Amino acid sequence: MKKLNIIMSLMLALVLALTGCVSSTNNNGNTSSENNSGSGEEANKEKESGEVNVYTSRHYEADQELYKMFEEETGIKVNVVEGKGEELMERLSIEGEATEADVYITADAGNLYQAKDRELFQAVESEVLEKNIPEKLRDKDNQWFGLTKRARIIAYAKDRVKPEELSTYEALTESEWQDRVVVRGSDNMYNISLVASFIDVMGEDKAKEWAQGIVNNMARDPQGGDRDQAKAVVAGEADVAIMNTYYLGVMLNSDDPEEVKVAENVGVFFPNQDTTGTHVNISGAAVTKHAKNKDNAVKFIEFLSDEKAQGKFAEANYEYPANPNVEPSELLKSWGEFKEQDVNLTVYGENQQAAIKIFNEVGWK
């Protein structure tokens, strides 16, 4: 009898357990369904509220429009901190692992090289970027990628200089150009990268000879930015200036009629077309070393490299697209096609210290 009671108790427990299991399964099924639904909603919500944090030294309306386009296409919110490239680089360094920045954008491959050298970036494996951005416009270790290009040309006074008188950067060191050349100072990264490229294409000794020749032919001590060089030419202080095409585009479309007038009175000449090609620099982007949203950061840079975004850069900001499948704007086309220096822009950083040494030795202020 005792055994029977034990057996009955066991059977009753088993029935209750099975009933509980069925109930639990049903409840869990509902709960699981609810949880799955909730997880889906949470996942979607997380996707919708995903973000990418960008530190950028660029401050253009075209860039803001591109950020909005990216948000609309991906649902990823773009948070932007603007500032000077050097300041943002220093901020990244100080913040270290605590930084919120996922992407760093700045002008000049020399600046990007410095940030990489300070271990502020990480390598990115992206077939999209490798397809869209030519090898020479990206870091050898895929830590930064060019987005736009700017050519460093010879701007000349249309009323005093004929294009046939111009040929190469080197020719500007000849005696006929004495007291006729203006250019920015030696602390300007555009000039540092220019000489760094010369070190690569002509050797350090020849690069030093060039820098010395330019110093000898300067119409005045270096001062101001690229636009100031164009103004000096039109004002008659000099006949030619070494400057970036981008700034002429800005001046031609300026709200200041005086700037427009200056830009209309200087011509654009692409030097070294029969030799090494015209020097080109970039604005570029990188994923930061401590990016919290790495996937979003890569998607963001990929988006900026595609044809639609590159077309926006080209049309709105007087820059040459880095993506070779995208044509320049009508303004840039009006200046003509040109041959570029055939160098990987990484050398702008690798030869940076040698270029600075040359400036110091030749007295380029």
Tokens 């070393």 appear where?
289
Q: What is the pLDDT of residue 284?
A: 97
* Averaged pLDDT score across all residues of the chain: 89
Residue 109: Cβ within 10 Å count: 29
Q: Angle of helix 85-95 relative to helix 109-117, nearest 10 degrees?
A: 10
Over residues 41-53, mean pLDDT: 57
C-alpha span between 248 and 190 (Å, rounded): 15
Going from the N-terminus, what domains does the chain have, and what CATH number goes with each? Answer: 48-148+282-326 (3.40.190.10), 149-279+340-362 (3.40.190.10)
Whose structure tokens read 């973000």? 51
Confidence band for 330, pLDDT divided at 50, 70 and 90: very high
Apex 222 CA angle, 218 and 228, nearest 5: 105
Residue 88 sits at φ, ψ, to 5 deg, of -70, -35
Specify the pTM. Answer: 0.84
Tokens standing for 360? 């110091």
Is residue 22 pLDDT above 70, yes or no? no
271-300 per-position pLDDT tens digit: 999 999 999 999 999 999 999 999 999 999
Spatial CA neighbour of 279 closest among 340, 324, 229: 340
User: What 3-state class would DSSP assign to 192?
Assistant: helix
φ, ψ for residue 187, nearest 5 deg: -85, 0
What count of residues does the chain have? 365
Amino acid (1-letter code) at residue 94: I
- The pLDDT tens digits for 236-253 are 999 999 999 999 999 999
Q: Do the beta carbons of residue 80 and residue 105 sit within 8 Å?
A: no
